[in-house]
Amino acid sequence: MPAHVRGKGMWIWQIRRCEGGAPQAIADRARAAGLTHAVVKIADGRSPFNGDLQSHVAALRAAGLKVWGWQYTYGAHPEEEAEAAASRVTSLGLDGFAVDAEVEYKGNPQAARAYMRRLRALLPGHALALSSYYLPDYHPTFPWSDFMERCDFCWPQVYWYSRDPVESLERSMAQNARFGKGILPTGAAYPEAANAAQIRRFLEAARSMGLDGVNFWSWEHARWEMWEVIAGFAWPVPRLIVAVENASGDFDYHPVPGEFTGSQFLVRSADLAAVVGRTSAETGWTPVREALAALGVEAQFVTHHLNDPENPRVYVFVAGS
């Protein structure tokens, strides 16, 4: 099964409204907030969305984030919508994809099956998540099983409005557990549905439940005080940092997106090559030692920081060429 994201993530709807659309500014804010992943809209129905995102993906990756795409799907042309999404995921080299399916699919399981069959056929090795209503019991005509059969994860939209955020999360977790898939809830970070104090309670509850992480909707809607709470909330996730010796004999430190399996880090050779002065088109996940060997790079590992409860990390030191 594809690995799940961990830590804190933000959804992005209109990227031009996020830090003026500037790739490096977006990456800098993400890193400052301690985000581990971003979920960027790449398609709306059959149409691509947000234009050319290559520079944004590259900047976020260089900041150590994973980048997922998402699409709002309407179900009127399910196979074509799946093809539009898969084309963007593939061309951008994204880590995973979230399906935002809502009211248009109620009472229409045939469209859900057609969409998911085509999407999974085109993205056989990618992580897929369903993002929809937070309480399945309240939406019995939505084709939950038809989506979840081919999705790896469930990302319920836990937007509490006048309800209690912790109670909303608990109810959502209980109802979505039936699918037997990993759950990563999306909390509210927009003024109509939440305030900063509620966001803190949501984060505390999610972490106390032992969840891998959380998402928030959304980057462009969150007020500064919401960002402050999200940024200030520690959600330690093991990180891989590659230190490359420069011409002056010092080291430049590069966070590299990785998957920590409990005994080793997995990386994409293409990401690793970009920081050690090599080239690689390999985008599959490989143990970091194997990836370095394939690139012809010798390195020293420093692993004792992995036990740091607040900032677990592994350093890989690479001599200058």
State which of 213, 232, 251 marks the end of a domain. Answer: 232
Please check whether residues 24 and 123 belong to one and the same domain: yes
Domain count, the chain: 2
Please check whether residues 92 and 194 belong to one and the same domain: yes
pLDDT band (50, 70, 90) for residue 321: low
Please check whether residues 188 and 53 belong to one and the same domain: yes
Asked if 98 and 69 count as a contact pair (C-beta separation under 8 A), the reply is yes
In a domain, 2, yes or no: no
pLDDT band (50, 70, 90) for residue 2: low
What percentage of the chain carries pLDDT values higher than 90?
90
pLDDT at res. 310: 84
**Half-sphere exposure of 282 toward its Cβ, with a 13 Å CA cutoff?**
19
Please check whether residues 258 and 215 belong to one and the same domain: no
> In this predicted model, what pLDDT tens digit does every residue of 211-267 receive, in sequence order?
999 999 999 999 999 999 999 999 989 999 999 999 999 999 999 998 888 788 999
Pairing of strands 239-245, 313-318: parallel
Please check whether residues 223 and 265 belong to one and the same domain: no
Q: Which residues contact 103 (CB under 8 A, 6 or more apart)?
A: none
Q: Select from 34, 94, 20, 96 the least CA-distant residue to 64.
A: 34
pLDDT at res. 226: 99
Structural domain boundaries, residue 246: 239-318
> In this predicted model, what pLDDT tens digit does every residue of 286-307 receive, in sequence order?
999 999 999 999 999 999 899 8
Please check whether residues 108 and 203 belong to one and the same domain: yes
Asked if 85 and 98 count as a contact pair (C-beta separation under 8 A), the reply is no
Please check whether residues 216 and 306 belong to one and the same domain: no
Mean pLDDT of the chain: 96
- Which residues lie across from 300 on neighbouring strands? 317
Pairing of strands 265-268, 259-260: antiparallel
Does position 3 have pLDDT exceeding 90, yes or no?
A: no
pLDDT at res. 311: 87
Does position 132 have pLDDT exceeding 60, yes or no?
A: yes
Model-level pTM? 0.91
Region 265-279 average pLDDT: 92
Q: Which residues contact 227 (CB under 8 A, 6 or more apart)?
A: 33
In a domain, 1, yes or no: no
State which of 193, 216, 232 marks the end of a domain. Answer: 232
Q: Select from 262, 259, 256 the least CA-distant residue to 278.
A: 256
> In this predicted model, what pLDDT tens digit does every residue of 172-213 receive, in sequence order?
999 999 999 999 999 999 999 999 999 999 999 999 999 999
Of 24-28, 152-156, 306-310, the poorest mean pLDDT is in 306-310
State which of 216, 232, 248 marks the end of a domain. Answer: 232
CA distance 176 to 190: 23
Asked if 21 and 50 count as a contact pair (C-beta separation under 8 A), the reply is no
In a domain, 160, yes or no: yes
